[in-house]
Structures are given as C-alpha cells and as structure tokens.
Amino acid sequence: MTNKTRVMLVDDHTVLRAGLRALLDGQPDLTVVADAANATDAYRLAEAEQPELIVLDLSLPGGGSLALIEKLQALSSPPKVLILSMHDDPPYARAALAAGARGYVVKTISEQDLLAAIRTVCRGRLFVDLDNDELTRSVFLGPSSRPGPAGGTGAKLSDRELEVLRLLGQGHANQSVAERLELSPKTVATYRARIAEKLGLKTTADFVHYAATMGLTKELDPLQ
C-alpha cells in the first residue's frame, strides 16, 4: 500500500478545517494527521506529529504565521508549508516565501487546483497561484527594490552555478538539486552560498525572483 503524505491544517475557522480534512482524507495519497487554530498549537503539534506538509492560513488570531514558518524550518524534519490565504496581494506572497513557505494560494482556489498545489509542494516544487496571472507573475517580478545581480547579467557565475541557480529558482530544495545534478547536498549548499554572495541574494524568494527575471525558469524540469 502506498504511504500517504501526512498533512496538518492550520486555520482558525473550524468549518474550513473540517472541509479541508474531508477533501484531503478522501484522496488516496493524502491524510490529515492534525489540525490547529493558532500558531502556538500548530508548532506543538508539528513537533509531535511530524507532518510532511502544513496548509497554513496567513492571518491567524494574534498573528504569528510568518514567525511560525521560520520556526518550523528549524525542526529536525521541517515540514513543507503551503499558505492558503484570503490575501491575493503579491507582497503577502513574497513575505511568506521569504519566511520559508514553498507555496501560496488564495482561498478562492478550486478543490482540484488546491490538490495540485499540495502535491506540487510535497514534491519539493514551488507553487504560487493568486487570483489572476498578472498578480501571480508580479510575485516574482515584483518591486524593483528586490536584490539584483551584482554584475547585471549573471556573467560572474560559472556554468555549474547557473545550473544550480536555475533549479533553485524553480523552487527545488537543496536535496532535489543535488539529485538532479548528481552532487552532494553539502556541495549544493556551497554553490548556493557562492551564488548568494555574488548576486546579493538572501532568501528563497530572492533566488526565485532573480532566476525568473533572468529567464532561467522558462524551461522547467519535469516533476519527479
């Protein structure tokens, strides 16, 4: 029997959590192992249940969603985070990605597209879908104040660094990049650090934005 992906739901609306649980538990490859209504309970349950994916509302009572995403990344087995939000503003999506989320969708999304988002993020890929294509594109091609290339064209990067940047910009995690390029995760981390230093990039969102701006993500690697 195929192992099911363990999912946790975090939203302060009980009815929404119940609906999501029914949807996900009805899938052959997904199972909901816990749910929470606030950031404090969510972190405690994440430690205890070790979900592989957390579907998280960005606007929890008392706030704390962005801080929660960052805290989750420090767990021994950090879950991937997909934001399910009422906000369709690109700055919210950029902030969530910068904190460590791997996906961002709005609550108007269809059930089919939500399931696609969950499975995409579970595979280690980035998934962003706002209310229309223009808003979605602006998440990556947004404000001109975002970090840019030190030399203007990326010419200071080696061929291998460009390949690592391309995959990181598509949303692949270090482990996924390592598998595709037949490198060790430690080597990929070294390349990532070099790229960050050369281009002035800091967060995952910075890598995604820069790679998209340079046209490095036009041809996407197939999902595995």
Domain 5-140 has CATH 3.40.50.300: no
pLDDT tens, N- to C-terminus, the chain (224 residues): 468 999 999 999 999 999 999 999 999 999 999 999 999 999 999 999 999 999 999 888 777 888 899 899 889 899 999 999 998 888 888 888 888 899 999 999 999 999 999 999 998 888 888 877 777 776 765 543 344 444 443 446 788 888 888 888 877 888 888 988 988 989 999 889 888 888 888 777 778 777 776 666 655 554 34
- Please report how many Cα atoms fall inside a 13 Å half-sphere around the Cα of residue 120, on the Cβ side: 21
Kind and range of the H or E element at 41? helix 39-49
Strand order in the sheet with 53-56: 30-36, 5-10, 53-56, 80-85, 103-106, 127-129
Given this model, what pLDDT does residue 204 score? 77
- Listed residue (213, 224, 217, 132) closest to 171, CA to CA: 217
Alpha carbon 115 to chain centroid distance? Answer: 15
**DSSP codes, 41-93:** HHHHHHHHH--SEEEE-S--TT--HHHHHHHHTTSSSPPEEEEEES---HHHH
The two three-digit tokens of residue 43, written as one number: 């972190």
The two three-digit tokens of residue 133, written as one number: 């294509």
- Listed residue (130, 100, 116) closest to 223, CA to CA: 116
Domain ranges in the chain?
Answer: 5-140, 145-224
Q: Do domains 5-140 and 145-224 have the same CATH topology?
A: no
The two three-digit tokens of residue 205, written as one number: 């969102």
Given this model, what pLDDT does residue 145 score? 38
Domain 145-224, CATH number (from 1.10.10.10, 3.40.50.300, 3.30.365.10, 2.60.40.420): 1.10.10.10
